[in-house]
Amino acid sequence: MAWLVLVLSGVLEAVWAVALGRSEGFTRLVPSVVFGVAVTISMVGLAYAMRTLPVGTAYAVWVGIGASLTVAWGMATGAEAVSLTKLLLIAGLIGCVIGLKLVH
């Protein structure tokens, strides 16, 4: 259960990161509210997962999922350039997250 919560919390990390960028310094209401809700739920989920999983593993997986999805979203929406190098690095990051799960 902790792994599922951790993965969902990592997804929410990407949500709040994107919302933070769109909030324009918290001057736009809807993205600011989305940020606040997503960051709160994401942190609660991370804290829950850390009750069972080692801190280093849980944090690395959470950040890895959030960072990968945030960059992927940026590339999908055209906000970031797509390159083979970026795609390979993201794939490597995802591979590392999977590896942390497998060695746990």
Cα–Cα separations (whole angstroms), residue 94 to 65, 89, 101: 7, 9, 11
- CA 24 centroid distance within chain: 20
DSSP 18-41: HHHHHTTTTTSHHHHHHHHHHHHH
pTM: 0.90
Region 20-29: mean pLDDT is: 97
- Is 90 exceeded by the pLDDT of residue 104? no
Region 40-59: mean pLDDT is: 97
Domain of residue 39 covers 2-103
d(CA 41, CA 13): 9
Region 40-66: mean pLDDT is: 96
Q: How many domains would you assign to the chain?
A: 1
